[in-house]
Structure formats: C-alpha cells, structure tokens
Amino acid sequence: MNLELIRYNLFYPHRREAVIMASLSADLFYDILKRLDAAALARAGCACADFRAISNEEDLWENACNSLWPSTRLGDVRSLIVSVGGFRKFYADCFTFTLILNKDVPVVQTNETNPFAEEWAESDYYYDDMDELENSQPSDFVSLIDIWYKDRALYSKVIWGIPNSDGANGWFYNCPFRIDLFHHSSENNENNNGEVFLSTISDLPSVPSIEQERKDGKLWRELNDGIKLSWIIVNRKMKRAVNLTSWHPLGGQRHWPTDTDFVLRFGSVLPAKEVLPCQVAECILLMKFRMTSMGSEEAGEPSTLALTELSLQIEDMGGVHLNGRCSLLLLKEALSCHRSRNYDEVLESCNLYLKAQSELKEEKIRSECRFDTLCIVSGITIFAAISTMCYRKFENV
C-alpha cells in the first residue's frame, strides 16, 4: 500500500473499507463469496458494485443451493434447474423462508345461506376443460425433498413425475391424490433402486419409558423443535418452482397409531379460486417416525427414531381428499401464487385456515343436529297422529 493510500485511510477512516475493497482482486472476491451461504450471498450482492457483479455468477448460486438443498446434487437435477432458469432463479423461487402466503381464507357464516355447510357435488371440484389438463401433465412435475434435524441433513430424495399416474383417462385423475415417498414404484424414480431408505436420528434424548414420555413429552418437543422439511415442486413446462412446505411443523400427534409412533404435519394453504367452491385448499405433508430404541441414560445410549412415512396430499376445507385432476390444477396455481419471507405471517394464514375449517366442521355438526332433531320431532308427530287415528277408529267400532 503506497503513502498516498495510507494518508487517505488516516484522514478519511469512514471510506477506508471502500479503498481496501477497491484494492482487492476479483479472484479474491470470488473466493470470499463462494464460502457464503445463499442468504449471505444475496446480501453481499447489495453491498457494492464489485460484489454485485461477481454474485451473479451461476457457480456461486449452484454451490449455495447444493449446500442448502442436498437433493439438488442428485441425478440430473442440475440440468433440470438450468433448464428452468438457473440456480439463482431457483433459489429466489424456493428460498427457505419464501413460503406460500394465502390470506384469502373465506369466513364461515353460520346462517342458512352458508354454502360451505352443504355437500359439494363431485363436478364442482375440477374443470371439464381438457386444455387445462394438457398444461398440467403429471410428467411435468419433479419433487425435491430434503429433511434436516438440527441443521444436519438426514435424507434427500428426487421424484421425477408423479408416481402411478400413467394414462390420461386413467384412475389417477378421479382417485384421491397422494404422493407416498416410500411406497411408489421404483421405475418412477431412478434414484430409488427399488429400496426403502430409512433415515435415523441418533442424537435424541433417551426415554426411560413410554409412560414417562407421555408425561413430560421431552422427546416429542425435541422432535418438533429440531425437524425441518423442504418439499419443492418444479414444473418443467412452466419453468417454475415452489416450496410447498411450512419448513417447521404446524402440528402433529404423538403415540399414534401406536405408542412408538410420532406424526408431524407440515403444509401450506393453496389458492383455489377457480378450482374449488371453497376457494382455498390445504397441502398436507405428513411425516411419521417410529421409535426403534428408547436408549439408556446410564449407558449413554440415545433414543433412535426411524423415518417410516412421508406423504403429500391436498384437502379442501371439508377435509375431503382432492382427486388427481383437481390437485394438478392446484399445484399449477401454487407455482405462481403470492409468497412471503415473513414466517409469522405465513403461520398466521395457516392458523386462520385451520380456524375456518374448524368453524365449518362445527357448523356441519350443528346442521346435522338440527336435521336429526327435525327427523325425531317429525317421527314423533307422525307416530302420535297415527296413534290418535287408530284410537278414534277403535272407539267408533
């Protein structure tokens, strides 16, 4: 560093960093940026013109995406991401906290004109326009799944297309839609090799007994706080991607269906204004763990859980599983829906949906109770009328 530069740094300390940055080479900038994660890389691109120019390099974003989502390193995923716009665009679409935000949850009204309290006909659930289906073929969708526990990658999977969806007029379009990670045909996923891979967690707290876990729920809390899920849907024809999960669990159920099972529920609220009469639907991702070893504190052995189920399905507000035809249309709409990086805002919209769904169920129960009461009163009235007629007829005889 020459004398003039030293004097400049002494008399203008607030500009010292800019001078030092200007004296560095582009190769050194590149070496610095490639060590950053995706979020830090995005912020560095806003720091100065030099960082902004270098941060546009696809190699940096590919490295960042590979570190964030291990599934992007599997198979031909790199070619897929390049074909839909590159790793920088992929990150912008599927950033960890860029989640689906849907505030258009209808309010359930408790009156006789409430359309949500009635049963919807099957024809109301999907378009009859085959052009829409041609733009939403199951083979166009690719799923990238990643699971973490306390920021440690546990499991990654790539599913090309939607399993068991062959045939344009087959059963898939009219049967409940579901993607089960461990029960689909190996021919739909070249990385599956016909085997079911069980990912285990080996650093959980030990559980003295199931009865003790029922009381304190220590293992359940650790599982809820530590597990994270990313389920990215990529459409090759639309060249778009979206993360369908809530990243953190929205709820769950422990000791179900057996004492050693733990079920976590992730998901998001999808827009369905032109698909469903209720205008919204819920994408539900269920993850089930089974305890294979309770461990022992004395021996220093931790509890071990095995991942036994991971599935994706879509339900309407009435809790009905949507069929394949309607689900494809909803997934297509999700690729271009509004998103937010505010996790609390996204969580609030999910809670709003659950509240509306609960109110809908309560209104249906009240409607059924009113109908049952009407049937009972009508039956008693008819019975009383018939009894009276018979009695009078008997008196006349």
Please write the tens of the pLDDT for every residue from 178-197: 998 876 434 444 444 434 34
CA distance 229 to 217: 21
CA atoms within 13 A on the CB side of 127: 16
Strand partners, 176: 323
Per-residue pLDDT, 365: 80
CA distance 233 to 351: 23
Q: Which two tokens stand for residue 123?
A: 């024809």
- Is 3 or 278 the better-scoring residue by pLDDT? 278
Please write the tens of the pLDDT for every residue from 101-124: 556 555 544 444 444 444 444 444
pLDDT surpasses 90 at 349: no
CA distance 295 to 27: 50
Q: What is the DSSP letter of 214?
A: H
Which residues have a Cβ under 8 Å from the Cβ of 196 and sit 6 or more positions away?
182
- Is 339 or 264 the better-scoring residue by pLDDT? 264
pLDDT band at 200 (very low <50, low <70, confident <90, very high): low
Give yes or no for a contact between 110 and 370, defined as CB atoms under 8 angstroms apart: no
Please write the tens of the pLDDT for every residue from 229-250: 999 999 998 899 999 888 889 8
Give yes or no for a contact between 88 and 169, defined as CB atoms under 8 angstroms apart: no
Within the chain, strands assigned E span 99-100, 141-149, 152-160, 179-180, 200-204, 227-235, 240-243, 251-254, 261-272, 279-293, 303-315, 339-340
pLDDT surpasses 50 at 325: yes
pLDDT surpasses 60 at 88: yes
CA distance 316 to 282: 6
Q: What is the mean pLDDT of the segment spanning 10-14?
A: 42
Assign residue 312 a region (left: φ > 0; alpha: ψ between -120 and 50; beta: otherwise): beta
> What is the percentage of the chain residues whose pLDDT exceeds 90?
13
- Is 381 or 272 the better-scoring residue by pLDDT? 381
Assign residue 207 a region (left: φ > 0; alpha: ψ between -120 and 50; beta: otherwise): beta
Question: What's the length of the chain?
Answer: 397
Q: What angle do CA 24, 9, 3 make, to 5 degrees?
A: 85
By mean pLDDT, which of 127-131, 152-156, 301-305, 351-355 is the weakest? 127-131
User: What mean pLDDT is reported for the chain?
Assistant: 76
Q: What is the mean pLDDT of the segment spanning 361-367?
A: 79
Helix (H) or strand (E) holding 376: helix 343-396
Q: What is the DSSP letter of 158?
A: E
Q: What is the DSSP letter of 146?
A: E
Buried b / exposed e along 25-36 (16+ C-beta atoms within 10 A)? eeeebeeebeeb
Q: What is the mean pLDDT of the segment spanning 34-40?
A: 75
Per-residue pLDDT, 389: 85
- Helix (H/G/I), strand (E/B), else coil: 134: helix
Q: What is the DSSP letter of 228?
A: E
CA distance 237 to 141: 9
Of 124, 136, 197, 195, the C-alpha closest to 161 is 136
Per-residue pLDDT, 22: 55
pTM exceeds cut of 0.95: no
By mean pLDDT, which of 8-17, 40-49, 336-345 is the weakest? 8-17
Assign residue 326 a region (left: φ > 0; alpha: ψ between -120 and 50; beta: otherwise): alpha
pLDDT surpasses 50 at 384: yes
Give yes or no for a contact between 266 and 285, defined as CB atoms under 8 angstroms apart: yes
> What is the percentage of the chain residues whose pLDDT exceeds 70?
74
Per-residue pLDDT, 131: 52
Please write the tens of the pLDDT for every residue from 274-313: 777 777 888 899 999 888 877 666 666 777 888 888 999 9
Of 336, 352, 323, 320, the C-alpha closest to 250 is 352
Q: What is the mean pLDDT of the segment spanning 25-54?
A: 73
Per-residue pLDDT, 40: 78
Per-residue pLDDT, 21: 54
pLDDT band at 100 (very low <50, low <70, confident <90, very high): low
Orientation angle between helical segments 58-68 and 87-94, nearest 10 degrees = 40
pLDDT surpasses 60 at 70: yes
pLDDT surpasses 70 at 392: yes
pLDDT surpasses 70 at 273: yes
The pair phi, psi for residue 352, each rounded to 5°, is: -65, -40
Per-residue pLDDT, 262: 92
CA distance 353 to 128: 27
